[in-house]
Amino acid sequence: MSADIAAVATEKKHTFASDLISLTKPRIISLLLVTTVAPMFVAGTPTLSAVIWVTIGGYLMAGGANAVNMYLDSDIDDVMARTKLRPIPSGRMSPRAVIAFGILIATAATYMLAHFVNVLTAALALAGFYFYVFIYTRWLKRSSPQNIVIGGAAGAFPPLVGWAAVTGRIDLAAVFLFLIVFYWTPPHFWALALNKQRDYGNAGVPMAPLVWGVRETIDQMWYYTLLLVALTVLPVCFGVFGLIYLASALVLGLLLIIGVWKVRMVRDGAWEKPAWWVFSYSLLYLALLFVAMAADRHL
C-alpha cells in the first residue's frame, strides 16, 4: 500500500508543464542570467524593459539549448544516475517533442532579442546556442577530455549578450567578462567530474579524470584556478573596475584557491568531499563576483 502511495506521489511530481520546465534546466539558467544581467549594469544603466527582455530572451535561448542537449544526449542519459529520470529516458516525453520544444523557444528568443533589444544581442545569444549544441554537445563532449575547456566557452557568451544589450557593441571590458567565465568553467566542472566518474564512464564520455587520471585533473584545476583569480584582478589594472570589485575578487578568489588547494593536498583518495565543496562554492563565487562588478560601477 505504501509503495502504491509513493508511486502516485512520484507520478504527481511529473506533469507535462513541469517536464517542459525541467528541459530548460532552470537551476543552471539562474546562474547564466546573473552573468547576463549583471554585465548590463556594468556597461551602463539599462532600462527596465531592456532587463526584462534580455532576461526572458536569455532564459528561452539557454533553455532551448538545454532541451536540444537533452535530445542529443538521450542515448547516454539513460545510463547515468543523475540524468536517467529526465523526460526522454524516463519515457515521459518523445525525443521529437523535446527537440521541437527546444528549437521553438530558441527561435522565439532570437526574435525577442532582435526586435526588442538589438540584432547584435540576438546574434550573440544565438551563437552561444549553436556553440553549446554543435561544438560542445555534438562534437567535443564525446570525443575529447578538452570538452569542458573548449566547449565551456558556450557558457561565457551571456556576459557578451548583456553587454551588447546596453552598448550595442563588444569592447575590451566585455572580453574580460567572457574570459573570466571561460577560465572558471574547467575547475567548476572538473570538481563535479571527480565525483561522477562512474556515470561518465558508463556513458562513454571522456571526462578528464577518466582520461588523464584524478591527480592530473586536480593539478589542472589548480592551474586554471590560479589563472582565473589573476584574470579577475586584471580588469582593475585597465581601469574597468575599482576598489569594491578588487576587494571582492580577492576575497572570493582566495576562498576558491583554498578550496582547490585542499582537493590537491588529499593523498588518500578522499577527495570527494572537498571536490563537492569546490563545485558548490564555485557557483556562488561566480554569482557574487558578477554582482560585485555591478555594485562597483554603481556605488
Domain ranges of the chain: 1-170, 171-299
Averaged pLDDT of the chain:
93
What is the distance between the alpha carbons of residues 287 and 181, in angstroms, rounded to a whole number?
11
**List of residues 6+ apart from 238 with CB closer than 8 A:** 172, 173, 176
What is the distance between the alpha carbons of residues 44 and 29, in angstroms, rounded to a whole number?
23
**So what's the pLDDT on residue 106?**
98
Instruction: Give me 1's grid cell.
Output: 500500500
Mean pLDDT (whole number) for 204-224: 95
Name the residue with cell 576562498. 255
Instruction: Give me 165's grid cell.
Output: 544589450
Per the document, the length of the chain is: 299
Q: What CATH number does domain 171-299 carry, 3.30.200, 1.20.120, 3.30.499, 1.10.3470?
A: 1.20.120
| CATH class given for the domain over 1-170 | mainly alpha
Tens digit of pLDDT for each residue in 41-65?
999 999 999 999 999 999 999 999 9
Model confidence at 19, pLDDT cuts 50, 70, 90, reads very high
**List of residues 6+ apart from 74 with CB closer than 8 A:** 86, 88, 89, 95, 98
Q: Name the strand (E) or helix (H) holding 124.
A: helix 119-130
Tens digit of pLDDT for each residue in 242-270?
999 999 999 999 999 999 999 999 987 78
Instruction: Give me 275's grid cell.
Output: 571536490
**So what's the pLDDT on residue 299?**
84
Tens digit of pLDDT for each residue in 111-143?
999 999 999 999 999 999 999 999 999 999 999
Within this chain, domains 1-170 and 171-299 share the same CATH topology: no
Instruction: Give me 154's grid cell.
Output: 558556450
Q: Name the strand (E) or helix (H) holding 184.
A: helix 172-195
Counting residues of the chain whose pLDDT is more than 70, the rounded percentage is: 96
Q: How many other C-beta atoms lie within 10 A of the C-beta of residue 149?
A: 19
Q: Contact at 8 Å (CB) between 69 and 137? A: yes
